């Protein structure tokens, strides 16, 4: 399922707003050790509808945001949380919410655009303890392999079959793919804005639409549209 949130935003929003979105999600969802201890079986998009300017982003007509998850109970818990506490912080306030069921997918290969940068972390073999991970981009020899491995791990964590599920950057868009440098708290990250192709069963493709692709979907990376 997908929860669309429509936000009032009378103030300029700083560029590094992701921790505020994640904080709101965690308050609305409530504490659940299972959700925090494993891979994120949900995805958060970035805010849409803004215009970047000096010192931040202006959302003159309001902002839109969505959260996706295969767990319908989580989505309903989020709605209850929004009713209790519609203020996210940074002047953002929910004025409307709408729930969307997953589209009817068919088995095969499905193209998706991304609603937030795809982030892939890779620690080379033999790297020293504490060494920073590489952030892989479209065209890297390991990028598609790691995207696929992450989706399969999430499928297994959810108790679903991971056989033949795969993710790859759309080769037709590699030449025009853009990179995006962003910060989460004090960590600088580099992701990519590039369409992806998800292949597998209808259930596996729907799962990817809900949990996103790549690493750190729970802090705003790899959401799919």
What is the CB-side half-sphere exposure of residue 197 using CA atoms within 13 A? 14
Count of domains for the chain: 2
Least reliable range by pLDDT among 24-33, 41-50, 171-180: 24-33
pTM of the entire predicted model: 0.95
User: Which DSSP letter does residue 218 get?
Assistant: G
Q: Are residues 200 and 125 in the same domain?
A: yes
Instruction: Report if residue 225 sits inside a domain.
Output: no
Please give the Cα distance from 82 to 43 (Å, whole number): 17
**Does 178 lie in the same domain as 154?**
yes
Same domain as 208, residue 135? yes
Interacting residues of 105 by C-beta distance below 8 A, sequence separation 6+? 202, 205, 206, 209
Q: Tell whether 115 and 96 lie within a shared domain.
A: no
Mind listing the pLDDT tens digit for each residue in 198-224? 999 999 999 999 999 999 999 999 999
In this structure, is residue 148 part of a structural domain? Answer: yes
pLDDT tens figures, 109-122: 999 999 999 999 99
Candidates 62, 117, 57, 83; CA nearest to 3 is 83
Q: Are residues 8 and 93 in the same domain?
A: yes
Is 224 a member of any domain? Answer: no
**Across the strands, what pairs with 65?**
5
> Which domain does 210 fall in, by range?
108-219
- Are 139 and 89 contained in the same domain? no
Binning pLDDT at 50, 70 and 90, where does residue 127 land? confident
pLDDT digits 0-9 by tens, 41-81: 999 999 999 999 988 999 999 999 999 999 999 999 999 99
- Are 90 and 136 within one domain? no
The domain that holds 138 is classified in CATH as 3.30.70.1900
51 in the same domain as 11: yes
Spatial neighbors of 173 by CB under 8 A, at least 6 apart, are: 138, 194, 195
- CA separation for the pair 203, 155 (Å, rounded): 10
> What's the rounded mean pLDDT across residues 160-186?
96
Does the pLDDT of residue 84 top 80, yes or no?
yes
User: Are 207 and 199 in contact, with CB atoms under 8 Å apart?
Assistant: no
């Amino acid at each position: 399922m997908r929860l669309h949130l429509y936000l009032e935003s009378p103030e300029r929003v700083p560029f590094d707003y992701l921790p505020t979105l994640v904080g709101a999600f965690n308050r609305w969802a409530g504490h659940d050790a299972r959700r925090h201890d494993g891979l994120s079986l949900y995805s958060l998009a970035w805010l849409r509808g803004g215009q970047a300017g000096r010192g931040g982003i202006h959302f003159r007509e309001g902002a839109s945001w969505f959260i996706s998850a295969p767990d319908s109970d989580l989505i309903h818990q989020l709605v209850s949380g929004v009713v209790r506490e519609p203020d996210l912080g940074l002047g953002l306030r929910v004025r409307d919410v709408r729930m969307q069921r997953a589209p009817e997918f068919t088995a095969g290969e499905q193209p998706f655009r991304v609603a937030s940068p795809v982030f892939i972390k890779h620690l080379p073999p033999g790297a020293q303890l504490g060494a920073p991970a590489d952030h892989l981009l479209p065209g890297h020899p390991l990028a598609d392999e790691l995207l696929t491995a992450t989706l399969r791990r999430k499928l297994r964590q959810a108790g679903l079959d991971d056989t033949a599920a795969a993710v790859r950057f759309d080769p037709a868009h590699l030449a025009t793919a853009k990179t995006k440098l962003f910060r989460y708290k004090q960590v600088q990250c580099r992701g990519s804005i590039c369409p992806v192709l998800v292949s597998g069963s209808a259930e596996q493709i729907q799962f990817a639409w809900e949990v996103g692709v790549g690493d750190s979907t729970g802090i705003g990376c790899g959401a799919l549209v």
